Amino acid sequence: MNTFLDALRSLRRSLRRPLSSCFCQISKRLGFAFIALMSHSTLAVGPPEKADLRFGFIKLTDMAPLAIALEKGYFEDEGLFVELEAQANWKVLLDGVIDGQLDGAHMLAGQPLAATIGYGTKADIITPFSMDLNGNGITVSNQVWEAIKPHLPTGEDGKIQHPIHADVLKPVIESMAKKGESFKMGMVFPVSTHNYELRYWLAAGGIHPGFYAPHKGDTSGQRQADAFLSVTPPPQMPSTLEAGTIHGYCVGEPWNQQAVFKGIGVPVITDYEIWKNNPEKVFGITREFSEKYPNTTIRLTKALIRAAKWLDADDNANREEASKILSQPYYVGADYEVIANSMTGTFEYEKGDTREVPDFNVFFRHNATYPYYSDAIWYLTQMRRWGQISESKPDEWYFDIARKVYRPDIYAQAAQALIAEDYAVADEFPDFASESGFKPPQDDFLDGITYDGTKPTNYIESLEIGLKQNDTL
């Protein structure tokens, strides 16, 4: 079997793209032969009902599990012949999954939840796999940085002390308002982690990021705003900042580090500093796909788990290789040095101010890949906080939506199969027999507020800025 796999992988690598049309045809002709060569333990899951798959992604470093699962042959080990296709933006990506042009995709964690509750496009999307923790940053323009820098405390080494709180922006915003100007910031999508992290940071500093009022036809998210947030696709963030259209942004890598390399902006805080080990992207598929192709669903989850393990193995020893893979134009397409700046355990703030941040990107450790219900519920609380959910909801509603979308049952089947095949060991995963799907209360937030996923309405009430349980706009 190894010779067979090596030949297929060699062909793909020689063509220098994720999956050529030629490789697809070979896959279709040899698929049955490949399945026949699988080990008995692998077949215990059952053969894939659909072998040829197309997955979408956005050009961000946190799509890495998909690229690694392809490049290292983990999809092929599962009898899956995968083509990866970069998408123009998050809406195009979601639409592609819903209409079946894509079988699955690297998604914003809020997308399956928003689709399920009908915010935006209504669809039943699930996730059996959480793709990573952390990985985002907030960057401001050089002009904003020069205005706030003199007011920031420094350490004994002369470097700016981190984390930087948003309240330092208040004089900048007030000065602009007196001139009739608005302070504008970019984020990647209305239901993105970036939107909610940026809002959390601003609100923790006493700056109102605005409300949504979809029941009144207002989806701008700018009602009562002190800072005005709008959507900009991730790869366009640096150029939009450079053009002066926005004064800062929240985005995933490598687009914060790109601003540093281009000399057009300064990252002021990472999401690791806003919420330590916060959940980020997920892998999304339709509920229909998971029910029609259950073995395929388990197998693709197995491949992604193996890829995440490889990415974090031996204290990030594989990250340089991963950065080289991601730098190729059909994946992220940024310079290796830009990608490696954060992927290898460091992060550069102001030019020349590079610091150790080993957990800036986490793909497997800390149970990063497990789809926790409490992660889903946090996103739902933020949707309610900022008005995307117009009416108050009881706790049980949050639990029900989380159970519909996040699928730890599928994840557990995939993990147990990997354990049986000696690709993993049991202590690398949660104890599936006792796991509730809820993390213990988390207090690693910038503002010191504790989040308990079992008490969503209490949590919403504890946040100073934002809608409370019975508020309406």
399 in any annotated domain? no
Peptide bond into 441 cis (omega under 30): no
Residues 149 and 127 reside in one and the same domain: no
**pLDDT tens sequence across 260-293:** 999 999 999 999 999 999 999 999 999 999 999 9
Residue 285: in which H helix or E strand, if any?
strand 282-286
Give the separation between CA 60 and CA 66, rounded to whole angstroms. 11
- Same domain for 34 and 104, yes or no, is yes
Whether 153 and 236 share a structural domain: yes
Helices 193-204, 373-385: axis angle to 10 degrees equals 60
Regarding whether 184 and 257 lie in a shared domain, the answer is: yes
Q: What is the pLDDT of residue 44?
A: 81
Strands 52-57 and 104-107: parallel
Q: Are residues 144 and 154 in the same domain?
A: yes
| 458 within some domain | no
Residue 288 lies in a domain: yes
User: What's 325's domain CATH number?
Assistant: 3.40.190.10
- Asked, for residue 390, whether it belongs to a domain, the answer is no
Same domain (yes/no): 270, 288:
no
**Domain membership flag for residue 180:** yes
Residue 90 and residue 106: Cα distance in Å, rounded?
Answer: 9
Sign of CA dihedral 201, 204, 210, 216: positive
How many domains, the chain? 2
**Contact between 140 and 266 (Cβ < 8 Å):** yes
Domain residues for the domain of 241 are 136-277
Query: At 209, which amino acid appears?
Result: P
In a domain, 470, yes or no: no
Same domain, 233 and 318: no
* CA angle centred on 191, ends 257 and 258, rounded to 5°: 10
Is 472 domain-assigned? no
Q: What is the pLDDT of residue 6?
A: 54
Q: Is 380 contained in some domain?
A: no
pLDDT attached to residue 10: 52
User: Is the separation of the CB atoms in 143 and 169 below 8 Å?
Assistant: no
Residues 206 and 319 in one domain: no
HSE-CB for 268 with a 13 A CA cutoff = 26
Residue-level pLDDT, tens digit, the chain, 473 residues? 445 545 555 555 444 354 433 443 334 333 433 333 444 344 589 999 999 999 999 999 999 999 999 999 999 999 999 999 999 999 999 999 999 999 999 999 999 999 999 998 999 999 999 999 999 999 999 999 999 999 999 999 999 999 999 999 999 999 999 999 999 999 999 999 999 999 999 999 999 999 999 999 999 999 999 999 999 999 899 999 999 999 999 999 999 999 999 999 999 999 999 999 999 999 999 999 999 999 999 999 999 999 999 999 999 999 999 999 999 999 999 999 999 989 998 999 999 999 999 899 999 999 999 999 999 999 999 999 999 999 999 999 999 999 999 999 999 999 999 999 999 999 999 999 999 999 999 999 999 999 999 999 999 999 999 999 889 99
Mark whether 57 and 197 lie in a shared domain.
Answer: no
Of the residues 259, 277, 295, the one at which a domain ends? 277
Question: Residues 303, 189: one domain?
Answer: no
Indicate the pTM of the whole model.
Answer: 0.92
pLDDT of residue 245: 97
**pLDDT tens digits for 178-210?**
999 999 999 999 999 999 999 999 999 999 999
* 226 shares a domain with 149: yes
- Do 24 and 152 lie in one domain? The reply is no
Q: How much is the pLDDT for 21?
A: 34
Q: Of 246, 277, 308, which one is at a domain's C-terminal end?
A: 277
Q: Give CA–CA dist 228/231, Å, rounded.
A: 10
Among the candidates 251, 277, 303, a domain finishes at 277
